Amino acid sequence: MELRNDYALSLQAVNQPLEAIQVLQEACNIDPGRLQSWGNLAVALKSAGDLEGALEAGQTATKLAPRHAFVRHNLALTLHALQRSSEAAEEWQLAVEADPTLVSK
């Protein structure tokens, strides 16, 4: 599964987001409990402009790891992009609680 995630990240790096999304969706279907796949899928979908899809993938990731700062941070960014500011602020707060160093980054 790690290879699928690495491959998808490589596809994103060479500006092939749709192919990366397909690989990550396959990874999520094969192992629906793998946080890294859902987190990467959320980022890829947001980058491709599919904010609703990114929201869904991000919410799945937060269910798998409620205290994971990276996942919460990305979900906050997606909510902000969807103009859901109060929800974005709540997610950002949860991200900072999980990793206080986010404030200084």
Query: Mean pLDDT over residues 7-31, rounded?
Result: 91
| Alpha-carbon torsion (25, 29, 34, 38), positive or negative | positive
* pLDDT of amino acid 73: 96
**0.95 surpassed by pTM:** no
Query: Mean pLDDT over residues 95-104, rounded?
Result: 90
With bands split at pLDDT 50, 70 and 90, how would you rate the model's confidence at 1? low
Give pLDDT tens digits for 54-88: 999 999 999 999 999 999 999 999 999 999 999 99
Fold of 2-104: 1.25.40
**Is residue 3 over pLDDT 90?**
no
Residue 37 to residue 31: CA distance in whole angstroms: 8
Residue 105 to residue 103: CA distance in whole angstroms: 6
